[in-house]
A = this chain, B = another copy of it.
Amino acid sequence: MTSLKDHSKAGSGRVVISVDAMGGDRGPAAVVAGISHSARKNPELDFILHGPEDQLSKLVRKRRGLSERCTIRHAEGVVNMDDKPSQVMRHGKGTSMWSALESVRDGEATVAVSCGNTGALMALSMIRLRKLPGVNRPAIAVLWPSRNPQDFNVMLDVGADIRADAEDLLQYAMMGASYARNGLDLARPRIGLLNVGTEEHKGRAELKQAHDLIEAHAEEGGFDFVGFVEGGDIPGTRCDVIVTDGFTGNVALKTGEGTASLIGDLLKEAFAYSPLSRFASLLALTSMRRLKKRIDPRRVNGGVFLGLNGTVVKSHGSADPTGISAAVKLAFELARSGFGDRLAARVASAAELAQDAAGQKDKKHA
């Protein structure tokens, strides 16, 4: 068990983000362009960039002012998109992904960002950063455009693990609440448990168990529990955090992305249909940009790995500079809020609470 790192950078002005330059579909040029954009926008940011030194130093030198704020850490190897997590765990040492995690492990950086292979990144994060004491399964949380005033909801797990029992779902609720407090600035997030109906008698047995467990820990966890929610509530206003297992969450995430992308394409087709509609589309350009900004997946780019000794932001593999920059921004916000330490504290107390959940429940609520 590793002890909690001293994230001495958190809250003290400058924030160091560790960035894996390799492994994304668009190569290191997109990554360097993304961090350069972030660096210009945010003077408090510094970077440690991991990958082949000569290639990276050329890219960094091209961006004015970036060299001074960016340390390059040489790493020869690259984790590819189709590498199996089990292989990467055995042979991943020396890759840019491994190196990026080492900077968080050593406390040089507060958060790591990578757009590489998700399964490999989670596997390496588990062995290098280790799970937080009290966490059984780490989870990946994403932000989802919603009708809520904060514009986004949190959903987890979206694919760290295909299984989750009732206690795992309770931990997801705790971690999701912590993320919503620090990432979305919600004092008392509302948690919903994803199911096929909102009636309490519906759904799988482990969900009914999780329902009661989460309900019993709402007070201690500093959240409100709204009970079961449905797929339609993921972008809705009934709750701020949607808790589910990684299989269901992954399907929901990709279904939502696929649907949004289909509608976007059909919208383009509709506007390209006739001269009149093409004229209308010119007039509608700013309206469309406003809409796009709201639901553009690049702007909410970044799944956050929760439940580890250190925070890891997984950017989309296909992220362009805008997407990379959004992931860096998220990493910065989490680093500055001291999210990692707060989450650790919350989960540790939750673990203690969960241990005597069944026995204590009746007494506490009597």
> Is B284 in contact with A251, judged by CB distance below 8 angstroms?
no
Closest beta carbon of chain B to A234's beta carbon, Å = 5
Which residues of chain B are within 8 angstroms of A279 by Cβ–Cβ distance?
283
Which residues of chain B are within 8 angstroms of A89 by Cβ–Cβ distance?
none
Q: List the number of copies, as a whole number.
A: 2
> Is A254 in contact with B232, judged by CB distance below 8 angstroms?
yes
> Is B251 in contact with A270, judged by CB distance below 8 angstroms?
no
> Is A162 in contact with B203, judged by CB distance below 8 angstroms?
yes
Task: Give the residue of B84, B232, B273 whose beta carbon is less than 8 angstroms from that of A255.
Answer: B232
> Is B230 in contact with A254, judged by CB distance below 8 angstroms?
yes
> Is A294 in contact with B280, judged by CB distance below 8 angstroms?
no
Secondary structure of the A contact surface, majority rule: helix
> Is B283 in contact with A147, judged by CB distance below 8 angstroms?
no
Which residues of chain B are within 8 angstroms of A280 by Cβ–Cβ distance?
280-281, 283-284, 287
How many of A's residues come within 8 Å of B, CB to CB?
A: 62
Distance, CA A267 to CA B281, complexed state (A)? 13
CB of A146 within 8 Å of the partner chain: yes
Distance, CA A287 to CA B291, complexed state (A)? 17
Distance, CA A332 to CA B230, complexed state (A)? 31
Distance, CA A46 to CA B350, complexed state (A)? 62
Q: Which of A127-135, A211-219, A256-264 contacts B (4 or more CB under 8 A)?
A: A256-264
Q: Which residue of B lies closest to A86 (CB)?
A: B201
Q: Which of A98-106, A242-250, A304-312 contacts B (4 or more CB under 8 A)?
A: A242-250
Distance, CA A232 to CA B257, complexed state (A)? 7
Distance, CA A234 to CA B267, complexed state (A)? 19
> Is A266 in contact with B247, judged by CB distance below 8 angstroms?
no
CB of A35 within 8 Å of the partner chain: no
> Is A270 in contact with B290, judged by CB distance below 8 angstroms?
yes
> Is A263 in contact with B295, judged by CB distance below 8 angstroms?
yes
CB of A327 within 8 Å of the partner chain: no
**Sample of 18 A–B contacts (CB below 8 Å):** A196-B246, A203-B247, A231-B258, A232-B255, A248-B251, A256-B256, A259-B259, A259-B260, A262-B295, A263-B263, A267-B291, A270-B291, A273-B287, A276-B286, A280-B280, A280-B281, A281-B284, A281-B287
Q: Which residues of A contact B (CB under 8 A)?
A: 84, 119, 145-147, 159, 162-163, 194, 196-197, 201-204, 230-236, 244, 246-248, 250-263, 265-267, 269-271, 273-274, 276-277, 279-281, 283-284, 286-288, 290-291, 294-295
- Return the 9 tightest CB-CB contacts between A and B, nearest first: A231-B254, A280-B283, A232-B258, A231-B255, A280-B284, A270-B287, A277-B287, A270-B291, A232-B254
